[in-house]
Amino acid sequence: MQDVTDLAFWRLLEAYGGADCYVTEYIRVYPNSRIGPEIERQIRDNDTGRPLVAQIAGEDIPSLARIAEDLQRLPIAGIDLNLGCPAQVVCRKNVGGALLKDLARVADILKTLRPLISLPFSVKCRLGYADSSSFEDLLGLLNQYQLDWVTIHGRTVRRGYAGQSDWEAIEKAARILTCPVVGNGDISSPLAAARILRESPLAGLMIGRGAVRNPWIFSQIRQVLAGKTPLLPTGSQVMEYLFRLREATDLGPLGRGEQPHVERIKKFLNFIGDGIGADFLYAVRRASSWSEMESIWARFLDHDRPMPLIPAPKLS
């Protein structure tokens, strides 16, 4: 997740159980581009003990090939091609999810990258761009290139994050693709996640917003799979997480002071607030100082009641 899931956040997740694997923010690839020094530092300094997959986004084939070769000199566990980002600033450049409008281009990219990448090579995609009418064509294309796995987000690009992720479509894709499939989209409940892992043909789950909202979720899923009741954090424990998140998001002298830091943490609170409640979300979005923010956190979270941190269902 861009500007969210960096090394500082991976380290924070480890304090709550951690994921099995982490994925970098996307590395934007274009002519004459290089791996950003901050991304490279995070890759080299990864001390979580977990494998790290480098994510690339681009459409210029020679540049993608060059960056893929450079990445393989770094301590990564694999390379993932982003065909799913719905952000318009990305799609306007024919990158990320926009490439799903041009499957011939996708084929050319995969034809070039697959022989060059000796590490595990994966693709993350959505069900299509405007609609899912070409989804099976995409799956047939992906089957041609011996990918090590495919991650599928159960919405179209145009859908963004509205409505519900289509898990029936994801599971259908898992029966069509010859490589393992990882499902993505709206994983907030450890019980539902464990059910998917037990009962579906999926090989795994990718959790983004749900992990920001609830860093305990990976441990909770493991507890359910082991036949245990998942342990829920109390309000006070969620508040402690927010203070640790504040520390993890502090950019130091480069942050240019209190106000930019307050605004930066709101990127995380937009996800976290969905699991706490609309009143909390309304309040933190309007806070302009740490004293205001801390007062809001205490008002909503200074208690010992268990918190599921599961958002209300979204409207279509």
**Nearest by Cα to 129 from 149, 103, 110:** 103
C-alpha triplet 23, 307, 225: angle, nearest 5°: 55
Both tokens of 267, joined, read: 């990127």
Q: Given the residues 21, 85, 91, 125, select the one marked as catalytic.
A: 85
Q: How far apart are CA 291 and CA 169, in angstroms?
A: 46
The residue count for the chain? 316
- State which amino acid sits at residue 34: R
CA distances to 97, 104, 129, 186 from 162, rounded to whole Å, are 16, 28, 14, 10
Structure tokens at 56: 């690339």
Tell me how far apart the alpha carbons of residues 56 and 250 are, in angstroms, rounded to a whole number.
26
Q: Are 273 and 280 in contact (CB under 8 A)?
A: yes
- How far is C-alpha 257 from the geometric centre of its chain's CA atoms? 28
Compute the distance between CA of residue 47 and CA of residue 51 in angstroms, rounded to an integer. Answer: 10
Q: Of the candidates 233, 211, 209, which has an alpha carbon nearest to the alpha carbon of residue 307?
A: 233
Angle at alpha carbon of residue 60, lines to 56 and 61, rounded to 5°: 85
85 is an active site residue: yes
| Cβ-contact 213, 274 below 8 angstroms | yes
Q: Hey, which residues are catalytic here?
A: 85
